[in-house]
């Protein structure tokens, strides 16, 4: 609800708060996230797209290397029109299978010194899967021993923390740089923060300016994110428990498949035994008739008789009981079959 968020944002503005500068909301947010992540500093960016491309570029320049590796479904490759290559002159090695987590063996197959490796935690496009902690620690150590930087795409790092149950600084501490989204788990307006050491962030700030990302009026974005840090981050374990309950009910019913089973983060995918076009029509009819939206976007499957959608459990999803979600999925499938 915008009015609730706006009221909560106002509570975070003390009289005389300047819009910019070291006492302004952006600097407060940067300090707060650096403290939570245990990094030397943090730097606001207008988007995660810009923050991550800049992080990789800085790691590459420092190492005199131009290749990086990441999961085949990384946001950097799928959604950013190859900005890493066209804007920054970097090369991408997809590591591993697109439907599975990246492994140490996948990384070992890359026969080239890398500037950086990117881990997305949780890996959104495969239902929010996360590597086991000991495996992650071993992968990162191996990569860093080879001279590459370890970068965390932590767009949803607070969701990942709900699975690892470790202090955020222990998770972030594995990496040379960490990006956190201000509008995903934190349900802010927009924006991102890049965290790491001071020399790296100084170079990143120069690139942010060159790319037109040094916006001076970002205080509403920072206030919205500060609100999310206070109100939503403490609820992540509750969101995760609800995701587990929803997935269990869906799988017990059996009409659809919730995966992973059980969910690790407060997110999972629902795989449906119906083609995408039919489910799209059914979903649109449900919105028109009773205003319930089950998914914003459907995912195709190599099997043309199936498709899937993502469930991300935050405040809104808490309003739906497992039984309600099962009955909505049944309604969706009934309508898709007509
Ligand atoms: C995992 C992941 N990384 C990076 C991004 C990019 O963030 P932004 O939309 O702020 O550019 C997104 C956005 O959806 C994302 O999901």
- Give the domain ranges of the chain: 2-231, 235-337
Q: Which residues pair with 194 in a beta bridge?
A: 43, 179
Q: Is the pLDDT of residue 5 over 80?
A: no
Q: What is the pLDDT of residues 217-261, one digit of tens each?
A: 999 999 999 999 999 999 999 999 999 999 999 999 999 999 999
Residue-level pLDDT at 230: 94
Q: What is the pLDDT of residues 156-209, one digit of tens each?
A: 999 999 999 999 999 999 999 999 999 998 988 899 999 999 999 999 999 999
Residue-level pLDDT at 7: 86
Confirm whether 2-231 and 235-337 share one CATH topology.
no
Q: What is the mean pLDDT of the chain?
A: 96
CA of 155 to the centre of ligand 1 (A): 6
Q: Does residue 49 have its Cβ closer than 6 Å to ligand 1?
A: yes
Which residue among 70, 72, 75 has the greatest number of ligand 1 atoms within 8 angstroms of its CB, and so is best to mutate? 75
Q: Does residue 120 have its Cβ closer than 6 Å to ligand 1?
A: yes
Q: Is the pLDDT of residue 57 over 90?
A: yes
Residue-level pLDDT at 81: 97
Residue 323, Cβ neighbours under 10 Å: how many? Answer: 11
Residue nearest to atom 14 of ligand 1 (CA): 75
Is residue 1 very low, low, confident or very high in pLDDT (cuts 50, 70, 90)?
low
CA 333/CA 271 separation, integer angstroms: 11
Q: What CATH architecture is 235-337?
A: Alpha-Beta Complex (3.90)
Residue-level pLDDT at 109: 96
Q: Which fold has domain 2-231?
A: 3.40.640
Q: Is the pLDDT of residue 98 over 90?
A: yes
Which residue among 155, 159, 188 has the greatest number of ligand 1 atoms within 8 angstroms of its CB, and so is best to mutate? 155
């Amino acid at each position: 609800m915008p009015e609730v968020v706006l009221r909560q944002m106002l509570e975070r503005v003390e009289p005389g708060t300047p819009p910019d500068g070291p006492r302004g909301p952006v600097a407060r947010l940067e300090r707060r996230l650096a403290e939570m992540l245990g990094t030397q500093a943090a730097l606001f960016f207008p988007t995660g797209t810009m923050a991550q491309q800049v992080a990789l570029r800085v790691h590459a320049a420092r190492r005199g290397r131009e290749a990086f590796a990441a999961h085949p479904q990384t946001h950097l490759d799928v959604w950013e029109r190859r900005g890493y290559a066209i804007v920054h002159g970097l090369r991408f090695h997809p590591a591993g299978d697109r439907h599975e987590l990246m492994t140490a063996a996948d990384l070992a197959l890359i026969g080239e010194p890398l500037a950086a490796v990117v881990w997305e935690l949780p890996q959104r496009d495969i239902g929010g899967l996360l590597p086991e902690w000991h495996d992650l620690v071993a992968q990162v150590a191996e990569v860093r021993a080879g001279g590459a930087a370890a970068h965390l795409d932590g767009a949803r790092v607070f969701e990942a923390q709900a699975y690892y149950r470790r202090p955020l600084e222990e998770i972030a501490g594995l990496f040379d740089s960490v990006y956190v989204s201000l509008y995903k788990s934190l349900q802010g307006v927009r924006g991102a923060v890049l965290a790491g050491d001071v020399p790296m962030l100084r170079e990143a700030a120069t690139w942010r300016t060159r790319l037109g990302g040094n916006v001076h009026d970002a205080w509403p974005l920072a206030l919205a994110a500060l609100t999310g840090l206070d109100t939503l981050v403490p609820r992540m374990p509750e969101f995760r428990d609800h995701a587990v309950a929803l997935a269990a009910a869906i799988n017990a019913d059996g009409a659809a498949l919730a995966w992973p089973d059980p969910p690790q983060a407060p997110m999972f995918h629902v795989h449906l035994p119906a083609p995408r076009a039919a489910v799209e029509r059914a979903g649109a009819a449900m919105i028109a008739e009773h205003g319930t939206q089950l998914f914003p976007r459907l995912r195709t499957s190599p099997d043309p008789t199936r498709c899937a959608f993502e469930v991300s459990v935050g405040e809104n999803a808490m309003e739906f009981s497992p039984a309600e979600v099962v009955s909505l999925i049944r309604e969706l499938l009934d309508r898709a079959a007509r």
